[in-house]
């Protein structure tokens, strides 16, 4: 659906925002791009609807090279790619309904059809009673819902989310992310979101790319990145989100392994079963149990001593993945 191939962006003055970024987003998935401020996320997401153009490399959206499109073709593309923003970007001089109608008006839809579509969209985001209000009268979460309704107005296949929840409190963030996940499921929207928060990635993304200083340092399924991060930058981001404790258990006398399991395994008495079977003792050194999008996961750092530790590790491997 979307493919970036060796995309580099150099700004006048020599600053390099993106440096050879290659990645692919499949139809219908939620793809996250995470990185600190200054990593190049904003520049990257703006390449996808031609708000920024690459200095070199290709940006393909549905097979079309965005950088080579003329103004008219770019406008057509933009009606198929919705975008929402951290600061919402609503028109303060227009009502909620007029904000949602704006892209339809720009696209030349007749006033009567617009009214029907706007009512539909406002219902979709749960703001049916707020059409006559002005943006200044809404809460942050409501403003972002207006932004989402507006982004969906022209019936796009792709939704770009530029730090869409960074200005919201944690509870509102959860609501807005839930709405984004619903849209992905119900409408089959392909969603690309950028964020600096691991929690956002954990709640809605299928796959994620970690961007650092303009380069993709790691990408893959969210579960892999979360549970088995390779790049130092990814580990640092996870540590900041409180997702991983200090990983140094050198003082522990026995063997230390990390055991990761998914889904139904959580809820089974795996440790005690393995302990009875092999006579090994377990110390739990570190651990977390949580949810990645809709799937539950657990990851424990275990210290093994006594009994048959090799057999115990093999037994654990039947229920999950064991790594050093």
Site for other proteins in 89-128 (CB under 8 A): 89-94, 102-103, 105-107
Sign for the pseudo-dihedral over CA of 183, 188, 193, 197: positive
Instruction: Name which position in 79, 235, 262, 288 contacts other proteins (CB under 8 A).
Output: 79
Count helices and strands in the chain by DSSP H and E runs: 11, 14
Q: Report the residue number, 90 or 304, with the smaller CB distance to other proteins.
A: 90
Shortest Cβ 95–other proteins spacing (Å): 8
DSSP 87-155: T----TTS-HHHHHHHHHHHTT--HHHHHHHHHHHHHHTT-GGGTTS-GGGS-HHHHHHHHHHHHHTT-
Instruction: Name which position in 87, 230, 268, 305 contacts other proteins (CB under 8 A).
Output: 87
Which positions from 150 to 179 touch other proteins by CB under 8 A, shown as an x/- string? xx-xx-----x-------------------
H/E stretch holding 262: strand 255-262
Tell me if 83 contacts other proteins by CB under 8 A: yes
Tell me if 315 contacts other proteins by CB under 8 A: no
Shortest Cβ 115–other proteins spacing (Å): 18
Shortest Cβ 81–other proteins spacing (Å): 8
Tell me if 78 contacts other proteins by CB under 8 A: yes
Count of residues touching other proteins (by CB under 8 A): 39
Tell me if 133 contacts other proteins by CB under 8 A: yes
Task: Give the list of residues 6+ apart from residue 187 with CB closer than 8 angstroms, or none.
Answer: 152
The rounded distance, in Å, linking the Cα atoms of 169 and 117 is 30
Instruction: Give the interface segment with other proteins, choosing from 1-9, 46-54, 264-272, 276-284 (CB under 8 A).
Output: 46-54
252 Rama sector, left if φ>0, alpha if ψ -120 to 50, beta otherwise: beta
CB neighbourhood size of 310 (10 A): 12
Shortest Cβ 225–other proteins spacing (Å): 28
Q: Which residues bind other proteins (CB under 8 A)?
A: 46, 49, 51, 71, 74-79, 81-83, 85-94, 102-103, 105-107, 133-137, 147, 150-151, 153-154, 160
């Amino acid at each position: 659906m979307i493919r970036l191939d060796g995309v580099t962006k150099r700004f006048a003055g020599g600053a390099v925002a993106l440096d050879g970024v290659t990645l692919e987003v499949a139809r219908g998935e939620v793809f996250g791009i995470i990185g600190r401020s200054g990593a190049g996320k904003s520049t990257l997401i703006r390449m996808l609807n031609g708000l920024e153009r690459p200095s070199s490399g290709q940006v393909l959206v549905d097979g079309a090279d965005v950088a080579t499109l003329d103004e008219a073709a770019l406008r057509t593309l933009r009606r198929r790619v919705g975008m929402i923003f951290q600061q919402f970007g609503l028109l303060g001089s227009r009502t909620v309904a007029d904000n949602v109608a704006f892209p339809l008006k720009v696209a030349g839809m007749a006033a009567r059809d617009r009214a029907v579509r706007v009512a539909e969209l406002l219902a979709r985001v749960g703001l049916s009673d707020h059409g006559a209000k002005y943006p200044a009268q809404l809460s942050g979460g409501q403003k972002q819902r207006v932004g989402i309704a507006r982004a969906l107005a022209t019936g796009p296949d792709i939704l770009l989310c530029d730090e869409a929840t960074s200005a919201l409190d944690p509870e509102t963030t959860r609501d807005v992310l839930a709405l984004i996940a619903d849209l992905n499921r119900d409408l089959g929207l392909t969603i690309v979101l950028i964020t600096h928060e691991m929690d956002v990635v954990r709640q809605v993304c299928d796959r994620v790319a970690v961007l650092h200083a303009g380069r993709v340092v790691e990408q893959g399924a969210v579960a892999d990145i979360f549970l088995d991060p390779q790049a130092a930058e990814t580990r640092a981001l996870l540590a900041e989100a409180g997702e991983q404790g200090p990983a140094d258990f050198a003082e522990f006398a026995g063997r230390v392994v990390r055991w990761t399991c998914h889904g139904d395994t959580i809820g089974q008495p795996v440790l005690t079963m393995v302990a009875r079977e092999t006579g090994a003792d377990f110390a739990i050194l570190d651990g977390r149990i949580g949810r990645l999008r809709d799937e539950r996961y657990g990851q424990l750092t275990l210290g093994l001593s006594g009994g048959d530790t090799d057999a115990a590790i093999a037994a654990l491997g039947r229920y999950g993945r064991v790594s050093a």
